[in-house]
Structure 1
Amino acid sequence: MGEISIKINIADRVYPLKVNMEEEEVVRRAAKLINDRIKELQEKYAVKDKQDLLSMCVLHYATASLNAEKKASNADTDVAEKVYQLDSILNDFFNKV
């Protein structure tokens, strides 16, 4: 599909973007998540400076992303170990037959 032009509002600033049609919903949802998080941080810490709020928001999502990567990597390692164990069991079985 083709590109479309959209406007995204983040922290009271409008950003014109060109995105693939299939990415539009994800981009809009991401902007909503960011704005919701900024609002939560503003209420919780009484911070007024948008730059500080954006920095805190970026830190939150970067940390979440790194934790998700680590969890996925650990899951991959667990799966690889299980495959290795299964391979060993099958080799032992077929070597006895």
Structure 2
Amino acid sequence: MTKKLSININIDGRIYPLTIMKEQEEKYRKAAKILNEILLQYKKKYAENDSKDFLAMAAFQFVLRNLELEERVDESPFIEKVKELNEMLGDYLSINE
């Protein structure tokens, strides 16, 4: 049985209580750390802006990266293999009729 865990995540100086699966704790804490590092970079570079601007830019950066990763996923080898197996199966079934 998977145990749930209550944790507090600090993002840009604000605490967010979360209930997560225990085995996901490290991933959640790492995500918060990475986000805070990105926010700190924006704060150093654009000191005159508001924290909301930094959060918006960080969100934009992550969404853009996610879209880039989605574009990299190439399903064509799997589709070709399924077509090939389908043809082989069709040939086998037609021979054994």
Q: Please indicate the TM-score interval, normalised by the length of the shorter structure.
A: 0.7 to 0.9
Deviates more, 1:42-51 or 1:10-19: 42-51
Aligned to 1:30: 31
1:4 aligns with 2:5: yes
CA deviations over 1:50-79 (Å, ceiling 9, x no partner): 11100000000010011111111xx21244
Aligned to 1:14: 15
DSSP-derived class of the 2:17 partner: strand
DSSP-derived class of the 1:46 partner: coil
1:67 aligns with 2:68: yes
Structure 1: segments with no counterpart, 5+ residues: none
TM-score (norm 1): 0.77
Q: Counterpart amino acid of 1:77?
A: S
Q: How many residues were matched structurally?
A: 88
Distance 1:59 1:47 in 2: 19
TM-score (norm 2): 0.77
User: CA 1:47–1:70 in 2, change beyond 3 Å: closer, same or farther?
Assistant: farther
How much identity, in percent, do the aligned residues show?
Answer: 31
CA RMSD in angstroms comes to 2.3
- Where does structure 1 differ by over 6 angstroms across 4 or more consecutive aligned residues? none
Give the C-alpha shift of residue 49 in structure 1: 0.9
Aligned to 1:55: 56
- Structure that is richer in helix per residue: 1
Aligned to 2:75: 76
Q: Counterpart amino acid of 2:15?
A: V
User: CA 1:52–1:4 in 2, change beyond 3 Å: closer, same or farther?
Assistant: same
